[in-house]
Every structure is written in structure tokens, then in C-alpha cells.
DNA sequence: TATGAATGAGAGTTCATTCAT
DNA sequence: TATGAATGAACTCTCATTCAT
């Protein structure tokens, strides 16, 4: 048995445990930040409050995160990943069909929004207009989702032999769809708190946007 | 000794002048705030900066506005009024027709967004997630616009003898339409700065949402 | 009598009083900073301590001074002005003679050091190695004094028909003289606290440096 | 059970190796500290930076040094030892003659300053005004050098049958000489970075101070 | 009405030092 | 011996708001 450790395995048990604990702490703080920012607002939350909520010292927060801005950025990146997975999985499993559009919409409202209202608060409310860097990550998040929607849209069109006229057209529609998601979620999650009915509401919204897409296909295919 | 002045008459000329100056100062400060908040961000703007930009003292700002929060609230209320007028005028002039929907959309992008990008920045970016009170006024602004859209929608439906099934249905669609407006404006005004092409972009978006509405009518009327 | 105020006179009494009070506050804080930094050390003094010592709020200190660094810089600039006046006056009154050298030296030890030990502490101790900007002002202070000494040195030489050989020579001697002043002041003011005897000590130091200069003149004039 | 090890014998080979390694680590950290403090400044250097630069952990630094203050003290003591050796060797080899004075000065500028500008930065810049304890060690360093110079001065005087009048006289001259060294080094090493010409500059300074000493001897011996 | 100096609580951030492993 | 995560006090600086003039 060789004594020398190979590069990526056979770490000492204590090193492994430390590694795990580190990751765990990181996630604990991030989760506390998500909750705190969503409940109290990004600006009204102080690093000390966060430290208390995470049950660590202020210094520890700064050990894991560069600064306050970094916290919301990491948060957005994680949420972006989850959101994309939520929507993407649908397209992956169902192919680029109109059905997929519908299911992705349902997934957004019935899965993402209902299960993670705090994550919605972060992306749709707390991260808005904070700083150029945060805005950059926000844009990246939206751009990725938009591009997923756009991809599906193009595929559906291709299936039906439809092409878009304008330079933006398809992209604008993808952006519009994201707009519907965002606004509807915001309205009924934060302003009217009818999260119980979000399923019905979402389905109405999805039906509407599907109509738009459909109409587009019919109209263009007819021409 | 003069009796107490009645509300709307018998003002001395100098009192009238003062009244005018007062109004003028108020508007000067508000305009400076709009520009400052849009350019620097609400949180990064200090009351001193605003005073300098308005060419008045800090104290004067507090004479005209209760506090910083009040500034953004007044701003939103004024913008809300303008926005509503922009959209409402269209419906007023053209009646509740599908054409009105189209024209209102065009007015939003080609008039409101292009001429007042800073007002867009205030409603869609700087006022987001600031405080319960600000949020309340934001909601009011959106609710009014939504309700206008909703009214038009209902009228169009009635014209065509169509009714909505669900509890929300129509309202959700109105909210969705607002979402399209908001997101498309944000994307192309602040993130990709293609304000030159906003006309084309807006028309694409409007065409899409019109399709949604159309489809709805057809579909429902067929049933 | 003209009603319009001319630019630099006829300020309203209250404006003048404010102006005076402003200047007074500024000087009060600066004086407190000098004392505090000299006694406690620049780094160990907090802005709160300074505010307490000045009997103003922390905010007021920041109203008058950009930041902590600015305080020591203003301090150094004022001290530099005083120091230069102390030395310069002697040369002005006595012309560029050997006697002036002696008197300037005496003025430094017997006037500047003895009367303003705290100012010595600032220039010779507390401002050393703090930041590039502070160092820049320190250099400026020393450079001005050095250049005064240098000017006198050159004048004395010219009187005696002596010229310097090397590129630096004269400048180096001026710097050396400043070094003598600095070190001797530091040693007996801060390390051995024999400020009572600083007169005698200073005279010894001056006699020594005068010898150096003298020797230079004799030697060179002989050659 | 083995008896307690006597101080200087019977070390096991491994213990010796450890001893060597210990000493090596200590020196590595100290050298890194010297470089770091000289380049970044004592206050702007953190213990973590030092640990990284030394390629050890933060804890290890604390194993070898009591605290941050201890680092600069050890540094000063080592530098003091080297500086004294540099100057002292000259006097040892050449006796207490005027020639020794000259050579010691040359050694300071051409050997110490040019070869160890970072050590100069520590003694003349970074250690100034830090804390009573650091100041105590700084004083000790200067006092030792001063006393060496003083010793030489007295010896030269004795050789020539000269005595000093005042209580301080000789000591003050020794302090003045140190002042010349310090200021000239600082000026041309840190402020004008003409370390290439430091040889010429140093020779000018030494010539000046020699003149002072000479003059003293002539003058006094004449009287 | 208007001014602007003054307030002071509170924020984010740093970092020397400790200690369980 | 060595590690490095964790601590938390302390710091500088900001800024919304007030108020005597």
C-alpha cells in the first residue's frame, strides 16, 4: 500500500470533515441571508443581524463572503441555477413543444414560486437596482432564462416551419414571457399574498402567453 | 386687520407670486431628484447631493418634502399620473377596441419610455423593494394601470360577447400585459440600451400580447 | 448708497459671525488633534476621542476635515508654515551670514522646540510612515526648510567667493543640517525629556554644524 | 528514564534537525516581515499577509513571535546588531582616528543603506511612533550607535588632547552625526530614490560632518 | 421661508489574536 | 508544532434629519 496520498482522494478524515463543515457553514449563512433579506429587505439587514441569524460571528460572515454585495450575488447565482434547472428540466424531458411551454410555466408558478417565495423575493425584489455588479448578475440570470425560452421558441417554430421577421422578434417574445412570469409572481406573491391560488393564477397567465405564441404560429404559417 | 383669507380668492399679488415660486421650487427639487435617483441610484444619492443639484439648501428640501422616502413617493405618484394619462388617453380617444390595445402599447414604448427613460428608472428600478410605504405607492401605480388595461379588456370582450371563466382570469391577463411592458422596457432601456430601436422592439412585444388577447377571444367565442 | 453688496465686503453681520465661528471651530478641532496625536499617537487616537476632546460630534469633525488623514496633513501644513516662518524670519532680518545660521539654529531649538513640543511630535514622530499622501506633505515640509537653508548656504558661499564641487554637495549639507535639527530635537524632547536644557543642547548642536560649514568655507577658499 | 538533557550536549540528531528548522522558520518569517513592512508599511500589513508571504499559517507566526509588535522589535534588534557591527568594525580595525570617522560614514551609506534599504525603512520609517515598547527598542538602537560614535569621538579628542566643555557637548555631537546619517539616508533613499548616487551623496555628507569635528578640534586645541 | 452647521446612531469592514484539532 | 477557522472589539466614515439663526 502506497503511503503517498494521490492528489484528489485519500484526504485525511479530519481534512474531509473540515471541508464538509466549511461547506455547511457557507450554506447556513447563505440560507440565513436569503431569509433575512427576503423578510427585512437587503438594505435594512445589517451584517450583525445576519451574523446573529446564522449563529456565527460577524468576522465569520466575512470569512465566507467578501462583503455584503457578495452575499446577494452568490444568492442570485444559486437561485439562477435552480430556476434554470426548474424550467430547463421541463424542456429537456418534453422536447421543444407547445406542451413544454405550458409545463415550464406551470413549473415556474407551482414549483418555484410556491416552494421558494423567498428566492423570488431576492431575484424579483431585493436585488433590483442595488449596484452595477449586482445588476450584472441579475441580467445574467434573466438572460439565461430568456435564452432558454428563446431556444424552445425557435425549436417550436422550426417544427412548424415558421420564421420570425424582425431582428428582435423572437427575443422580444422571450423577454415578454419572462416579464409575465415576473410581474404575475410579484403581484400575487408580494402584493396580494394569494400564494394559495398561485396555481390557478399561473395557469391563467400561461394560457394567455400560450395564446400569444399560438397566434403567432397560426398567423405566420398562414401567411 | 384683514380677515382670514378665504380659500380660493382675494390673494394679494405677492402671495400669488409666492405661491407660484413655491410650486416652482417644489417641481425643481422633484425634477432634480428624478434625475439624481435615476442616474446615481436612490440609496447612493444623499440629501446633500440633491440639495446641490436643486441649487437649494438641505433645509429647503425638508421644507418641501417630509423626508427622503417622501421624495420617491411624490415622484412615483406624479409618474403614475403621467403614465396613466399616456395610456388612458388612447383608450379614451379610440374606445375599447383591439386597436386601442395596440395603440396604448405603442404609446408606452414610443412615448413614455423613449421620452422619459428616467421616469422608467424610478418606477421600474429605483423604487423597488425600498420600504412598505414606497411599495404601497408602487402597488397603487401598477394597480391603476392594470385596472385601466383590465377595463379595456372587459370592454373588448363585452363587445364580442365573451366572458372569462376563472376568478382572476381577466385580471391576471392585465397583470401579464403590465409585466410585458415592464420587463421589455427594463431589458432594452437599462440592460442593453437600445432605446433607439425601442419602437421596433415595442411593436414586437405589442404584437405578441395582442396575439394572446386575440387568441383568447377567438378561442372563447368559439366555445 | 448702493444696495447691491460688493463682492468681498459688506457681508451681513450674521454671515460674518458664522464665518468666524467656522474658522474658530476648525482651529479648535485642529488644536485638539495636535494635542491628541502628540500625546496618544496618531493611530491610537480614534475620531471619537478627537470629537470628545474637541467637544463636538464625530460628524462635525468630518464636516471640517475630509478624513483622519486630512487632519494630520492640515496639521503638517500649518506646522510647516510656522517652522518656516521661524527660521525664515531670522535669515530675512540678518541676511545670509554665518551669524544667521547660528541664530536660525537657536530659533529652532529655543523657540520652536521648546514652545511647541507637540508640533515637533507631529512632524518628527506621528506623521512618519503613515501613507503616501502624508509622506508627500512631510517631504514638502522638509524640502521647503532644506531649500531655505540651502539658499542661505549659497548666499554665504557667494559672499566668500566659494563654490561647491559636486552635483549635490550644497543640497546634501542642507539636508544634513535638517537631520541634525530633527535628531537632536527627537532625542532630547521625546527620549530623554530634557527640554529644560534644550537651549544648551541646541547651542552645542548649532556650534557643531557651524563648524562644518566654516570648515567648508576655509578649506574651499584655501584651495 | 533519561535524565534531563544538559544545555549544550547530547541532543538527538532529530532534535538538532528540529532546532535547525525552527531557527530557519524564524528567520524566514522575520525576513518576510522586513520585506512586507518596508514595502507595505507596518500598519497596512496584516498578520495574514505576513503568513502568506512566509508560506506558513497565521498560527505559526504566533508560535514564533509573541505578537505583531514583537515582530518589529525583533527586526529592530537584529538590524541594530548589524548596523552596529557595520560601523563598529571600522572603528575596531582603524582605531579611533579621524580616518575611522570617515570610513564609518562611508560604510553606513555605501554598505548598509545601499545593500539593505529595507532595513533602513524599518529603523528610520516603519518603527517610528508605534508604541512605547517599540520606541524603547528604537531608542536602544540609536543609543548604542550614538555611544559608539561618542566613544570614537572621545578617543580622537583624547589623542589630540582636547576636552569638551559642556555637560552634553560630545554626546550632542554624536547625536547630530546620527541625525545626518538618518536624514540623508531617508531623503535620498525614500524620497528621491537616488540610491545609485548614494555613494557620492554619502561622501558629501561625511565630508561635512568631518569638517564639523575637525573644526572642533582645531578650535578647541587652539584655545 | 431658507440656511447649513451640527448631530449621533449605525453601517460595513478589518484584523490581531486565540484555540480546537 | 502547525493549522486556519472563528472571534468580536474597534475603527472610520456616512447621512437622514434637526434647529438656531
Q: Which of A123-127, C36-40, C158-162, D38-42 has the lowest mean pLDDT?
A: C158-162
Contact B46, B130 (CB under 8 A): no
- State residue B202 phi and psi, 5-degree precision: -60, -40
Span D12-65 CATH architecture: Orthogonal Bundle (1.10)
Residue D216 has pLDDT above 90, yes or no: no
Give the minimum alpha-carbon distance from B32 to chain A in angstroms, rounded to a whole number: 19
More confident of the two residues D213 and A206 = A206
Q: What angle do CA B123, B126, B128 make, to 5 degrees?
A: 75
Looking at residue B178, its pLDDT comes to: 96
Looking at residue D45, its pLDDT comes to: 97
Check if residue D62 sits with its Cβ under 7 angstroms from strand F. Answer: yes
- For residue range A15-32, what is the model confidence (pLDDT) as tens digits? 888 889 999 999 999 999
Residue D204 to residue C142, Cβ atoms within 8 A: no
Residue C188 has pLDDT above 80, yes or no: yes
pTM here?
0.90
A10: left (phi over 0), alpha (psi -120 to 50) or beta: left
C1’ E1 / CA B22, Å: 10
Looking at residue A157, its pLDDT comes to: 82
Name the band, by pLDDT with cuts 50, 70 and 90, for residue B45: very high
Residue C221 has pLDDT above 50, yes or no: no
Q: Quote the CA–CA distance of A34 and C220 in Å, as a whole number.
A: 81
Of the candidates B209, B218, B215, B216, which has an alpha carbon nearest to the alpha carbon of residue B101?
B209
pLDDT beneath 50: ranges in chain A: 1-9, 221-223
Looking at residue D153, its pLDDT comes to: 86
Residue C119 has pLDDT above 60, yes or no: yes
Name the band, by pLDDT with cuts 50, 70 and 90, for residue C2: very low
Looking at residue C168, its pLDDT comes to: 65
Q: Quote the CA–CA distance of C109 and C113 in Å, as a whole number.
A: 5
C1’ E10 / CA A65, Å: 21
Looking at residue D66, its pLDDT comes to: 97
Residue spans of the domains in chain A: they are 12-65, 68-215
- % of chain B exceeding 70 in pLDDT: 91
- What is the rounded average pLDDT for all residues in chain C? 89
Q: Which of B31-45, B193-207, C172-186 has the lowest mean pLDDT?
A: B193-207
Q: What are B's interface residues with A at a Cβ cutoff of 8 A?
A: 41-43, 125-126, 128-131, 135, 139, 142, 166-169, 172-173, 175-176, 178-184, 187, 190-191, 197, 200-201, 204-205, 208-216, 219
In the 20-39 stretch of chain B, whose C-beta falls under 7 Å of nucleic acid strand E? Answer: 21-22, 25
Residue D197 to residue C168, Cβ atoms within 8 A: yes
Looking up cell 449586482, which residue turns up? A134
Looking at residue D221, its pLDDT comes to: 45
Spell out the residues 6+ positions from residue D119 whose beta carbon is closer than 8 angstroms to its own.
Answer: D34, D38, D79, D82, D83, D112
- For residue range D133-162, what is the model confidence (pLDDT) as tens digits? 999 999 999 999 999 898 888 888 888 777
Interchain CB contacts (distance < 8 Å): A and B: 135
- For residue range D56-105, what is the model confidence (pLDDT) as tens digits? 999 999 999 999 999 999 999 999 999 999 988 888 888 778 888 899 99
Give the best-scoring range by mean pLDDT among A59-73, B86-100, D194-208. Answer: A59-73
- What is the rounded average pLDDT for all residues in chain B? 88
Check if residue D56 sits with its Cβ under 7 angstroms from strand F. Answer: yes
Residue B168 to residue A213, Cβ atoms within 8 A: no
- For residue range A107-127, what is the model confidence (pLDDT) as tens digits? 999 999 999 999 999 999 999
- % of chain D exceeding 90 in pLDDT: 64
Q: Quote the CA–CA distance of A147 and A133 in Å, as a whole number.
A: 21
Chains near D, with 3+ CB pairs < 8 A? Answer: C
The mean pLDDT of C81-103, rounded to a whole number, is: 87
User: Could you tell me where the DSSP H helices lie in chain B?
Assistant: 13-40, 47-54, 58-64, 68-94, 98-106, 114-115, 117-120, 132-159, 169-186, 198-222
Looking at residue A10, its pLDDT comes to: 55
In CATH, what number does D68-215 get?
A: 1.10.357.10
The mean pLDDT of C74-91, rounded to a whole number, is: 93
Amino acid at each position: 500500500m502506497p503511503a503517498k496520498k494521490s492528489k484528489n482522494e485519500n484526504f485525511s478524515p479530519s481534512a474531509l470533515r473540515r471541508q464538509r463543515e466549511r461547506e455547511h457553514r457557507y450554506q447556513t449563512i447563505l440560507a440565513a441571508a436569503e431569509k433575512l433579506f427576503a423578510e427585512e429587505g437587503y438594505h435594512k439587514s445589517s451584517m450583525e443581524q445576519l451574523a446573529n441569524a446564522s449563529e456565527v460571528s460577524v468576522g465569520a460572515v466575512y470569512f465566507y463572503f467578501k462583503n455584503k454585495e457578495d452575499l446577494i450575488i452568490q444568492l442570485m447565482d444559486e437561485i439562477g441555477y435552480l430556476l434554470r434547472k426548474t424550467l430547463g428540466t421541463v424542456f429537456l424531458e418534453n422536447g421543444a413543444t407547445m406542451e413544454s411551454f405550458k409545463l415550464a410555466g406551470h413549473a415556474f408558478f407551482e414549483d418555484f414560486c410556491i416552494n421558494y417565495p423567498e428566492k423570488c423575493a431576492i431575484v424579483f425584489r431585493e436585488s433590483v437596482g442595488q449596484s452595477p455588479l449586482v445588476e450584472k448578475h441579475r441580467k445574467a440570470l434573466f438572460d439565461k432564462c430568456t435564452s432558454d425560452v428563446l431556444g424552445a421558441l425557435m425549436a417550436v417554430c422550426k417544427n412548424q416551419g415558421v420564421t420570425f421577421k424582425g431582428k428582435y422578434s423572437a427575443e422580444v417574445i422571450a423577454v415578454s414571457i419572462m416579464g409575465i412570469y415576473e410581474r404575475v409572481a410579484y403581484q400575487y406573491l408580494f402584493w396580494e399574498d394569494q400564494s394559495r391560488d398561485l396555481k390557478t393564477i399561473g395557469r391563467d397567465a400561461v394560457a394567455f402567453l400560450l395564446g400569444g405564441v399560438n397566434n403567432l404560429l397560426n398567423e405566420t404559417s398562414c401567411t
